[in-house]
Amino acid sequence: MEYNFREIEQKWQDQWKQQGAYKVSNPEPGKTAKPKYYVLDMFPYPSGAGLHVGHPLGYIASDIFSRYKRTKGFNVLHPMGYDAFGLPAEQYALEHGVHPAVSTANNIGNFRKQLDKIGFCFDWDRQVNTSEEGYYKWTQWIFLQLFKSFYNRKTAKAESIDVLVAAFEKEGNMNHICPADNALKFTADQWRGMSEQDQQDILMNYRLSFCGYGEVNWCEALGTVLANDEVVNGVSERGGFPVVKKKLRQWYLRITEYADRLLSGLETVEFSDAMKEMQTNWIGKSYGAEIDFEIQGLAGQSLRVYTTRPDTIFGVDFMVIAPEHELVDVLTMPEQLSAVQEYITYVKSRSERERMAEKRISGCFTGAYVLNPFNNQPIPVWISEYVLAGYGTGAIMAVPCGDERDLRFAKHFDIPVTNILGEAYNGVEANATKDAVLHNSYFLDGIVMRDAINIVLEKIEERGIGQRKVNYRMRDAAFSRQRYWGEPFPIKWINGIAYPLEESELPLILPKVDSYSAGPEGEGPLANIESWTSQHLETNTMPGYAGSSWYFLRYMDPHNAAEFCSKAASDYWGQVDLYIGGTEHAVGHLLYSRLWTKVLFDLGYISHEEPYKRLLNQGMIQGSSRFVYRLNITRDGAAVLNNEIYVSKGLADRYNAEELSFSELIAEVKSQFAALPAIDAGDTIAINPIHIDVNAVDGVELDVEAARKTRHNYVNAVFILENGKYICGAEVEKMSKSKFNTVNPDDLVVKFGADTFRMYEMFLGPVEMSKPWDTKGIEGVHRFLKKLWRLFFDELKGKVWVEEAPTAAELKILHRTIRKIEDDNERFSFNTAVSAFMVCVNELTDLKCHKKAILADLLVLLTPYAPHITAELWALLGNENILEAAYPVFDVKYVTESAKEYPVSINGKVRTNINIALDAAQADVEAIVLGNEVVIKWLEGKPHKKIIYVKGKMINVVV
Residue ranges in 356-415 that form contacts with RNA under rule CB under 7 A:
356, 359, 385-388, 391-392, 394, 396-397, 403, 405
Q: How far apart are CA 816 and CA 218, in angstroms?
A: 60
**Which of 112, 353, 355, 739 is the binder for RNA (CB under 7 A)?**
355
Residue 102 or 232 with smaller CB distance to RNA = 232
CB 464, min distance to RNA, A: 21
Least Å distance between CB 365 and RNA? 18
The answer to whether 868 and 894 are in contact (CB under 8 A) is: no
CA atoms within 13 A on the CB side of 375: 13
Q: Does 956 bind RNA (CB under 7 A)?
A: yes
CB of 348 to RNA, least distance (A): 14
Within 93-112, the residues that bind RNA by CB under 7 A are none
We find the least distance from the C-beta atom of residue 361 to RNA, in angstroms, to be 8
Region of 270-278, 476-484, 688-696, 923-931 interacting with RNA (CB under 7 A): 270-278
* Single-letter amino acid code for the residue at 841: V
Cβ closer to RNA: 288 or 547? 288
* CB of residue 832 to RNA, shortest distance in Å: 5
**In this structure, which amino acid lies at residue 153?**
R
> Alpha helices of 852-900 — where are they, by DSSP H?
852-862, 867-876, 892-895
CA distance 367 to 331: 7
- 952 is an interface residue for RNA by CB under 7 A: yes
Nearer to RNA, 380 or 519 (CB): 380
Q: Is 471 in the site for RNA (CB under 7 A)?
A: yes
Q: Does 242 bind RNA (CB under 7 A)?
A: no
Rounded least distance, CB 275 to RNA, Å: 9
How many CA atoms does the CB half-sphere of 184 hold within 13 Å? 18
Sequential DSSP letters for 569-601: HHHHH-SBSEEEE-GGGTTTHHHHHHHHHHHHH
Site for RNA in 812-831 (CB under 7 A): 829, 831
- Span interacting with RNA, options 25-33, 228-236, 710-718, 859-867, rule CB under 7 A: 228-236
- 832 near RNA, judged by CB under 7 A: yes
Smallest gap from Cβ 957 to RNA, in A, equals: 7
Q: Is residue 766 close enough to count as binding RNA by CB under 7 A?
A: yes
Contact between 309 and RNA by CB under 7 A: the answer reads: yes
Subset of 273-292 contacting RNA (CB under 7 A): 273-274, 277-278, 281-282, 284, 286, 288
CB of 267 to RNA, least distance (A): 17
Q: Which residues contact 54 (CB under 8 A, 6 or more apart)?
A: 620, 621, 622, 735, 773
Q: Which stretch binds RNA (CB under 7 A): 160-168, 244-252, 767-775, 807-815?
A: 767-775
Q: Tell whether residue 27 is a contact of RNA (CB under 7 A).
A: no
Task: Name residues contacting RNA, limited to 768-797 (CB under 7 A).
Answer: 769-771, 774, 776-777, 779-781, 783-784, 786-787
Contact yes or no for 256/212 (Cβ under 8 A): no
Q: Are 346 and 362 in contact (CB under 8 A)?
A: yes
Toward RNA, which CB reaches closer, 709 or 783? 783
CB of 765 to RNA, least distance (A): 3
Near RNA by CB under 7 A: residue from 377, 845, 896, 922? 845
- 256 makes contact with RNA (CB under 7 A): no
Which of 193, 297, 446, 765 forms a contact with RNA (CB under 7 A)?
A: 765
Cβ proximity of 831 and 903 under 8 Å: no
Query: What distance in Å separates the CA atoms of residue 942 and residue 923, rounded to the nearest whole number?
Result: 10
Degrees to nearest 5, angle at CA 282 with 277 and 283: 100
Q: 456 near 501, Cβ under 8 Å?
A: no
Out of 39, 61, 838, 885, point to the residue binding RNA (CB under 7 A): 838
Contact stretch for RNA (CB under 7 A) within 86-94, 458-466, 890-898, 951-959: 951-959
Counting residues that bind RNA (by CB under 7 A) gives 75
Written in H, E and C, the secondary structure of 140-170 is: HHHHHHHHCEEEECCCCEEEEHHHHHHHHHH
Asked if 846 touches RNA (CB under 7 A), the answer is yes
| Minimum CB distance to RNA smaller for 358 or for 803 | 358
CB atoms within 10 A of CB 196: 9
Give residues 669-698 in contact with RNA (rule: CB under 7 A). none
Q: Would you call 427 exposed, middle or buried from its count of C-beta atoms within 10 A (0-12, 13-18, 19+)?
A: exposed
Q: Which of 226, 224, 685 is nearest to 676 (CA)?
A: 685
| Given 118, 381, 764, 814, the residue binding RNA (CB under 7 A) | 764
- Shortest reach from residue 645's CB to RNA, in Å: 26
| Residues of span 568-607 touching RNA by CB under 7 A | 583-584, 586-587
- State which residue, 645 or 762, has the beta carbon closest to RNA: 762
CA–CA distance from 254 to each of 14, 165, 306, 552 (Å)?
48, 18, 22, 22
Give the nearer residue to RNA in terms of CB position, either 24 or 313.
313
- DSSP string covering 507-576, please? S-PPPP-S--S--STT--GGGG-HHHHTTTB---B--TTTGGGSHHHHTTSTT-SSSSS-HHHHHHH-SB
User: What is the closest distance, in whole angstroms, from the C-beta atom of residue 355 to RNA in the complex?
Assistant: 5
| Using rule CB under 7 A, residue 347 touches RNA | no
Q: Of the two residues 744 and 770, which places its CB atom closer to RNA in the complex?
A: 770
Nearest residue (CB) to RNA, 365 versus 784: 784
CB 601 within 8 A of CB 268: no
Given 166, 802, 928, 947, the residue binding RNA (CB under 7 A): 947
Q: Does 922 bind RNA (CB under 7 A)?
A: no
Binding of residue 132 to RNA (CB under 7 A): no
Q: What SS3 state is found at 812? A: helix
For RNA, the closer CB: 26 or 286:
286
Choice between 505 and 584, CB closer to RNA: 584
- Nearest CA to 525 out of 491, 495, 500, 488 is that of 488
- Measured N-to-C along each axis, helices 852-862 and 808-826 cross at an angle, to the nearest 10 degrees, of 10
User: Of 495-503, 530-538, 707-715, 939-947, which segment contacts RNA by CB under 7 A?
Assistant: 939-947
How many whole angstroms separate alpha carbon 293 and alpha carbon 454?
19
Q: How far apart are CA 699 and CA 649, in angstroms?
A: 13
Instruction: For the beta carbon of residue 188, count every other beta carbon within 10 angstroms.
Output: 15
> Could you tell me the smallest distance in angstroms from the CB atom of residue 865 to RNA?
13
Of 695 and 831, CB closest to RNA? 831
CB of 380 to RNA, least distance (A): 17
Q: Which of 119, 137, 135, 130 is nearest to 83 (CA)?
A: 130
The amino acid that residue 799 corresponds to is K
DSSP 743-756: --HHHHHHHH-HHH
In terms of Cα–Cα distance, which of 928, 770, 775, 780 is closest to 841?
Answer: 780
Environment class of 360 (CB within 10 Å of its CB; exposed 0-12, middle 13-18, buried 19+): exposed
Using rule CB under 7 A, residue 232 touches RNA: yes
Q: How far is the CB of 757 from RNA (least distance, A)?
A: 14
Q: Cβ of residue 770: shortest distance to RNA, in angstroms?
A: 6
